[in-house]
Amino acid sequence: MTLNIKGTLLDLSKPKVMGILNITPDSFFDGGEYNTEEKILSQVKKMLIEGADIIDIGGQSSRPGAKKLTIKKEIDRVIPIIKLITKKYKNVIISIDTFNSEVAKKAIDAGASIVNDISGGDIDKDMYKVVGNLKVPYIMMHMKGVPSTMQNNPKYDDIIFDIIKNLSYKIDLAKKAGILDIIIDPGFGFGKSLKDNFKILKNLTSFKQLNQPIMVGVSRKSMIYNVLESNANDALNGTTCLNSISINNGANIIRVHDVKEAKETVKLIGFMNENS
């Protein structure tokens, strides 16, 4: 499997690591931490040195209960940062974490290469058309509801079947809109109960039937620290554990706050699979 990154192929035969750069003041783990150009560039440098393959930039918090920004506010927050990073690091691959097609277009024009949409096209009905015209990879996440209400007692008949059915329908629409590279994300924590999240993780291989690369984002989430009775700050070990399971169950990209540990996980599992 490969992704076409503006004419350069990114090989997914070995799992890739996406480093998270939240420039939101209210994200669940590192909100408000990267609030100056110096701190942003320092964090990007750290992630790249540690081996990040992609840097994911988001200006809109998607934590449960998060309120929606205006499009202008989101653009003002993310576009200068994308320009700042791409000026400093010429070959960096940036994904823009947004569910607004206008933000996606401006971000790609500013230097981003991938669109990461937590709503899978549900919030902005123009997203597929815009991304199709941009000819960039599209990460299609499954989310039940919207961030402000998604954790209000979500229910499924059969969660694995329901998500696969939903994504299959959307993949067809996205391809018809001209999107060539689609990555699917089952959306851990986005309209799922604690048990739902672990059922998805256990059955991640089921999503291979969609014939698209799979991205997993469990980094420091409540599905980890609620089981461990801790908090996001103490959830790195749990994150590494679940990332290991994700990779063994077919994840092609893992989205993380802690790049060094994720790259070590990828390397160790790769070595095991190649030498056993």
Q: Residue 29: pLDDT band by 50, 70, 90 thresholds? A: very low
- Tell me the Cα Rg of the chain: 17
Residue 256 parent element (H or E): strand 253-256
- Residue 30 confidence (pLDDT) above 90: no
What is the average pLDDT across 108-117?
98
The predicted pLDDT at position 144 comes to 86
What is the average pLDDT across 245-260?
98
What is the average pLDDT across 194-213?
98
Q: Residue 141: pLDDT band by 50, 70, 90 thresholds? A: very high
Q: How far is the first Cα of the chain from the last one, in angstroms, to the nearest whole number? A: 23
Q: How far are the Cα atoms of 172, 183, 221 from residue 28, in angstroms, in the given order?
A: 33, 24, 8
DSSP 265: H
Taking each helix axis from N to C end, the angle separating 259-274 and 236-248, rounded to the nearest 10 degrees, works out to 40
Residue 260: CB atoms within 10 Å: 16
Question: How far, in Å, CA of 144 to CA of 126, rounded?
Answer: 19
Q: How far are the Cα atoms of 32, 103, 215 from residue 55, in angstroms, in the given order?
A: 17, 17, 14
Residue 170: CB atoms within 10 Å: 18
Contact 264, 225 (CB under 8 A): no
Contact 82, 112 (CB under 8 A): yes
Question: How far, in Å, CA of 227 to CA of 231, rounded?
Answer: 10
With 0-12 CB in 10 A as exposed, 13-18 as middle and 19+ as buried, what is 133?
A: middle
Q: How far are the Cα atoms of 63, 66, 138, 152 from residue 148, in angstroms, in the given order?
A: 8, 5, 23, 9
Residue 118, both tokens: 């937590």
Q: Which residues are catalytic?
A: 221, 255
Place of tokens 């908090």: 231
The predicted pLDDT at position 231 comes to 96
- Residue 175 confidence (pLDDT) above 60: yes
In this predicted structure, which of 65-74, 149-158, 164-173 has the lowest mean pLDDT?
149-158
**CA 212 remoteness from chain centre:** 15
The predicted pLDDT at position 64 comes to 66
The predicted pLDDT at position 28 comes to 47
Domain locations along the chain: 13-274
Q: How far are the Cα atoms of 3, 10, 105, 116, 144 from residue 7, in angstroms, in the given order?
A: 9, 10, 18, 19, 34
Q: Residue 33: pLDDT band by 50, 70, 90 thresholds? A: low
Coil, strand or helix at 144:
coil
The C-alpha angle 161, 199, 142, rounded to 5 degrees, equals: 55
In this predicted structure, which of 80-84, 142-146, 252-256 has the lowest mean pLDDT?
142-146
Question: How far, in Å, CA of 14 to CA of 138, rounded?
Answer: 19
**CA 108 remoteness from chain centre:** 16
- Residue 224 confidence (pLDDT) above 90: yes
Rounded to 5 degrees, what are φ and ψ at 127? -60, -45
Q: Name the average pLDDT for the chain.
A: 93
- Residue 209 confidence (pLDDT) above 70: yes
The predicted pLDDT at position 89 comes to 95
What is the average pLDDT across 9-30?
82
Fold exhibited by the domain 13-274: TIM Barrel (3.20.20)
Q: Provide the whole-model pTM.
A: 0.93
